[in-house]
Structure 1
Amino acid sequence: MYDNEQVLTAFRIYSQLSRDGEADSESMRQYTANDVIRGLVDQFAQEVDCIVIPAGEKLYLVPEAATSPFHIKNATLKKEYLSAKAKNIDVYMMYLAILVLFGQFYDSYHSQEPTRDFITLENWLECIDMRIQALKEHGTEKLQALDAEYEYNWSQLVEKWDAIDDLRESSRQQDGRTNSRLGFLSLVQNFLIQQGLVHDLGNQELALTEKAKTIVQRYYMDTQYNRGILDFLASLEKREEGN
């Protein structure tokens, strides 16, 4: 039988996690110090297809599956974080941008610890463009085969990237209203900041949070979750460097 106080403490921690997506340092202390409380909180999280991640001085509730009520649906991403006319391909482009961003901190997904402190928006954009250019070299038929293999719309991503107006890339004042690649990255940046995954250091420089580092180490390196996409992106980087 569980002690009543332990159950109440665990439920208070879970309630804070479900309400805010994170829990404070006191909750973190109780969670890590007491096996019973930790087990109960983890059970509550599992019931909604989530996992509890300690990172830094906080706890975070992270959805493990699309069936979780805490999973952000594509419709929500388009409505709240992207432009009014956003389509599913914009969401795919957002995912690609995030994967590339994380990869630049982890030596193309092969290191367990970050290998850099920050990245600039310009460098982030260049890294995405480098992979898109490498994708183009595969040709239409090969891209369509890759679409099926990885369940990812690589061919449409190439078309989308080319369609974004890059005539105003020299402007440093980029936001979601600017129909440009930097404008798009500004939208993705805002999403990452709101989700507590990056810090804005100013001067168009971004750094990963402890939450992001923990998620990358536990999930992004695992082929069970990334379906080999990270290795494929890394191969694109090597392909481009070899030219």
Structure 2
Amino acid sequence: MSVEYKHEQIIEAHKIYMRLVGEGSLPRAEVKSYTREEQIEELVNQFAREDDAAIIMAGDMLYLVPIATTSPFHMNNELIKKLYLPNGATNLDIYLMYVSIIILLGEFYNSYQSQEPTRGFINMEEWLAAVNTRFESLKQIDEENLKKIEEEQEYNWTKILEKWMAIDDVKEKAKRQTGNTNSRISFLNMVKSFLEKQDMVKDIGNNEIELTEKTKVIIQRYYMDYEYNRGLLDFMYQYEKGEV
């Protein structure tokens, strides 16, 4: 049965949606009609679905989130490199960033075995140790099997692994030139900055970060869905160091 909407409801829903398009998020207090009128909420959600996006409510905020690469709000690789990565960055830097994020979130969700976070915060050294552990596990997979996995997932794990391991060379050069020996930490700090700007994590001081409500909702609704992660979570966490 089709639903008939009043003219005023359509106008109000369109206004809310266009504000979300322009700003990305809105305080719930400023869009009370969305939370109080079911038909306006449905209209705004319909507008979002037409753009391959979704409206999520997290804490006191309303967010417009792309859920497919076909969405006009999807941030492509070139834009990420332009806005968030240093000059000369390649797509490989983005893939390494994504893997680092997978591992970070896995630390909060007990290797993705839970629907709710199992910890309140993490410090940067713990995140670094977790990334190192996962890549050490990856190194133990024989080349033939890794190639098969890459074909199945369309994800170049070999190059990503080489990229992370090569940071050791960068670290030594940096040590000789500037005394900076924290290249991997520097990379994770860059990823952290990206996540902060996307309102995904919050710096709580003492070199520690926590997840935002926005991130928690996205993980619960989408991130653990096989359709979205293409089995990457299973792959990243099926091996423990020394048990390949």
Corresponding position of 2:163: 160
Corresponding position of 1:112: 115
Runs of 4 or more, structure 1, over 6 Å off, are none
Are positions 1:102 and 2:121 aligned together? Answer: no
3-state SS of paired residue (2:161): helix
Tell me the CA shift for residue 207 of structure 1.
0.3
Instruction: For structure 1, list consecutive stretches of 5 or more residues without a partner in the other structure.
Output: none
Which of 208, 211, 214 is the matching residue for 1:211? Answer: 214
Corresponding position of 1:5: 8
User: Root-mean-square deviation (CA), in Å?
Assistant: 2.0
Greater alpha carbon shift after TM alignment, 79-88 vs 22-31: 22-31
For residues 123-178 of structure 1, the C-alpha deviation after alignment (integer angstroms, 9 at most, x for no partner) is 11111110100000012222222111211111111100111134479xxx98xxx8
The total of aligned residue pairs comes to 235
Whole-Å separation in 2 of the counterparts to 1:16 and 1:232: 39
Tell me the CA shift for residue 73 of structure 1.
0.4
Tell me the CA shift for residue 32 of structure 1.
2.4
Tell me the CA shift for residue 179 of structure 1.
7.7
Instruction: For structure 2, list consecutive stretches of 5 or more residues without a partner in the other structure.
Output: none
Are positions 1:54 and 2:63 aligned together? Answer: no
Corresponding position of 1:190: 193
Aligned residues of 1:28 and 1:57 also touching (Cα < 8 A): no
Which has the greater radius of gyration?
Answer: 2
Assess, with a 3 A threshold, how the Cα gap between structure 1 residues 68 and 114 changes in structure 2: closer, same or farther.
same
Among all aligned residue pairs of Structure 1 and Structure 2, give the percentage whose two residues are the same amino acid.
47
Whole-Å separation in 1 of the counterparts to 2:133 and 2:33: 46
**TM-score using structure 2 length:** 0.90
For residues 79-104 of structure 1, the C-alpha deviation after alignment (integer angstroms, 9 at most, x for no partner) is 11111111111110011011111111
Assess, with a 3 A threshold, how the Cα gap between structure 1 residues 42 and 114 changes in structure 2: closer, same or farther.
same
3-state SS of paired residue (1:46): helix
Which of 18, 22, 39 is the matching residue for 2:21? Answer: 18
Whole-Å separation in 2 of the counterparts to 1:32 and 1:25: 8
Corresponding position of 1:69: 72
**TM-score using structure 1 length:** 0.91
